[in-house]
Amino acid sequence: MLLIVWIVVVVVVLALVVLGGVAYGVFGAFARLGREAASFEREVRPVLHQAQATAARAAESRERRQTED
């Protein structure tokens, strides 16, 4: 009977160790994903500003053409 208790204890401890490792890996992956998303946003922000400025200039040019006609 005592042997069965020890086996159950060992199985439970090993299961907790494995689940802890999996959780550590998953949370680490989420943290890396967050850092990658922030880095991507920093890299794309100048392009977004340029595209918005270009769109504003195009709208201004279009308005000028319409008022001239």
Average pLDDT over residues 19-36: 97
Give the per-residue pLDDT at 69: 67
Verdict on whether the full-model pTM lies above 0.75? no
Domain that holds residue 34: 19-69
Residue 9 to residues 14, 20, 64: CA-CA distances in angstroms? 9, 16, 80
Q: How many domains does the chain have?
A: 1
Q: How far apart are CA 44 and CA 51, in angstroms?
A: 11
Q: What is the pLDDT of residues 18-27, one digit of tens each?
A: 999 999 999 9
12 found inside a domain: no
6-10, 30-34, 48-52, 59-63: segment of lowest average pLDDT: 59-63
Residue 5 to residues 2, 9, 13, 25, 40: CA-CA distances in angstroms? 5, 6, 12, 30, 52
33 found inside a domain: yes
Instruction: Dump strand ranges (E) for 1-69.
Output: none
Give the per-residue pLDDT at 47: 96
- Total count of residues recorded for the chain: 69
Please name the helix (run of DSSP H) or strand (run of DSSP E) that holds residue 30, with its range, or none: helix 2-68
60 found inside a domain: yes
